[in-house]
Amino acid sequence: MESEIFGHVKGAFTSAHEDRAGAAELANGGTLFLDEVCEMDFALQAKLLRFIQTGTFRRVGGTKEMKVNVRFVCATNRDPKEEVAVGRFREDLYYRLHVLPMHLPNLRERGDDILLLARTFLARFAEEEGRHFHGFDADAEAALISYRWPGNVRQLQNVIRRVVVLHDGDFVSGAMLDLPSGASHEAARDTGPLPRMGSPSIEPYWMQEQRIIEEALKAFDGNAQKAAAALEIAPSTIYRKMQNWTQEG
């Protein structure tokens, strides 16, 4: 990984048959994107910290100091604060990177995005495989929206690709999706007319959400990490919701 980021010189290691520029050098004047940054080796974190602070680095096996001007964008599916707390991620590197944080909600929290992404994948894969699909039927759309998508966008992409490879037709059906754990096809179907909006027995979604989160926090004595784990959401989601409630209050 160090060689991938910083490059190497010929002879730096067994398979280094020639000089090679790394991602940092190639990104000069642009953006360097580091995915899954919290899984980076601890020793490499120290070198990355120095690089971010000084803008300089050396290729693996090299002696020449190189300087570049890059913008850093990092991503992780872990909670960086938790990784710092357990000693897997350097605290100084965390604060160096934590300038403009952006939370990307889980797919199940993104409503209509699920269908937009599913339709995009369907069109792309149908063209690649020579299929005739051009949409989803009502059961398939209900199943896509109701499923929790623990694997997020990658899982959705793989599900749609599997459908296209194994089937053909005008519309993807709920049965073709074959989502894990039953995907609650039946639960997603209409079981009768919906209650009238504003009915006293129906609580607005945001009120239910706030109540559920507050009850989870109370159950764990205000520990957002444990509450988030119990609710199967990211701790940052709870922090963000609480901040919004404070501002609105």
Mean pLDDT of the chain: 86
What pLDDT is recorded for position 6?
A: 94
pLDDT at 11 exceeding the cut of 50: yes
CATH fold of the domain at 2-97: Rossmann fold (3.40.50)
* Enclosing H/E stretch for 227: helix 224-231
Mention the CATH class of domain 205-248. Answer: mainly alpha
Distance CA 149, CA 155 (A): 7
Task: Tell me the per-residue pLDDT of 131-179, one tens digit each, with 9 for 90 and over.
Answer: 999 999 999 999 999 899 988 999 999 999 999 999 999 999 999 998 8
Task: Tell me the per-residue pLDDT of 55-64, one tens digit each, with 9 for 90 and over.
Answer: 999 999 999 9
Mean pLDDT of 101-106: 88
Task: Indicate the domain borders of the chain.
Answer: 2-97, 107-188, 205-248
Phi, psi torsion values for 72, nearest 5 degrees:
-100, 130
State both tokens at 11: 């002879």
What pLDDT is recorded for position 192?
A: 45
Distance CA 5, CA 45 (A): 12
Is the Cβ–Cβ distance between 143 and 185 less than 8 Å? yes
Using DSSP's 3-state secondary structure scheme, residue 8 falls into: strand
Distance CA 52, CA 56 (A): 8
State both tokens at 159: 């599900």
| Domains 2-97 and 205-248 fall in the same CATH topology | no
**Secondary structure of 145-192 in the HEC alphabet?**
HHCCCCCHHHHHHHHHHHHHHHCCCCCECHHHHCCHHHCCHHHHCCCC
CA atoms within 13 A on the CB side of 184: 10
Distance CA 89, CA 41 (A): 9
Per-residue confidence band for 200, with pLDDT thresholds at 50, 70 and 90 = low
pLDDT at 195 exceeding the cut of 70: no
The DSSP code for 117 is: H
Distance CA 14, CA 10 (A): 9
Using DSSP's 3-state secondary structure scheme, residue 242 falls into: helix
- Output 218 or 191, whichever has higher pLDDT: 218
Distances 58 to 10, 24, 65, 92, 200 between C-alpha atoms, Å:
13, 10, 5, 21, 67
State both tokens at 249: 């209050």
CATH fold of the domain at 107-188: Helicase, Ruva Protein; domain 3 (1.10.8)
Task: Tell me the per-residue pLDDT of 14-29, one tens digit each, with 9 for 90 and over.
Answer: 888 899 999 999 999 9
Using DSSP's 3-state secondary structure scheme, residue 128 falls into: helix
